[in-house]
Amino acid sequence: MRISLTLLSSLCCLSLVSCTSVDDHELTLRDLDIQSTTPGTASVFVKPKSDAEVQSAYQAYLASTSTDEKGRRVALTRLAEIERAQLQKLDAAQSPEDAAEFDSQQRASLLRIVSLHEQALKDTPNAKNNDQLLYSLAQAYEKLGNSEESLNTLRKLSDQYPNSSHVAEAQFRLGEQFFVDGEFLLAESAYSEVIFKGESHPLFEQALMKR
């Protein structure tokens, strides 16, 4: 299926500048969660009433496209955003009586985030903001209790995106693990990377003290 990149960019709340008609039997953006009222563009795309409808629309789009379709990353990112929003709602509504159900729902949502991020990284390994995906992926692994995968992801972030704004935090967390493992030279090196970011960094003082 072919949907213009211009239309797909509207999923990120950008203005539409052109439109492409699609076959009646093909998925259109009408089922997705953005609404455009820009004069001179395609007809208004109505926002579904629930996150479930939005998710279903994006999942249908993903199922109907090849892995080289550029819009897939937009869809994968949007689905992950919905999952994170649902996690925040779960946190806000948590009560001691519902702890078991909360844990189950939280874990399921985190696993979906992991799957979505891994798919996005696989589909677009050279995208410019993959450092943000790796950072979010590491966070999801950590919340799932998978520290090993979280640290491996942070290593990948640091190695592949040394200029990322997330590198200092990644190095600090790696330094913590190195210290626990008794790898004191590696820990010192990791803490130094944080210190090099300067006194304005929130982790500067902690890194300086630990080094």
The type of residue at 198 is G
What is the model's pTM?
0.73
Give tens-digit pLDDT for 50-78: 888 888 888 888 888 888 887 888 889 98
Q: Give the pLDDT score at 51.
A: 82
Nearest C-alpha neighbor of 155 from the set 189, 113, 200, 111: 189
CA distance 192 to 172: 9
Instruction: List all residues 6 or more positions away from 36 whose beta carbon is below 8 Å from its beta carbon.
Output: 10, 15, 16, 42, 44, 45
Confidence (pLDDT) at 97: 66
Ranges of the chain whose pLDDT falls below 70:
1-49, 95-99, 102
Looking at this protein, which amino acid is placed at residue 97?
E
Among 15, 65, 11, which Cα is nearest to 33's? 11
pLDDT computed for residue 17 by the predictor: 32
The distance from CA 143 to its chain's CA centroid, rounded to whole angstroms, is 14
Map residue 125 onto helix, strand or coil: coil
Predicted local distance difference test score (pLDDT) of residue 60: 87
pLDDT for the residue numbered 33:
54
pLDDT digits (tens, 9 = 90+) for 8-29: 444 443 333 333 333 332 334 4
Look at residue 22 in the predicted model and tell me its pLDDT.
37
Q: Tell me what pLDDT residue 27 has.
A: 39
CA dihedral over 101, 120, 34, 58, signed as positive or negative: negative
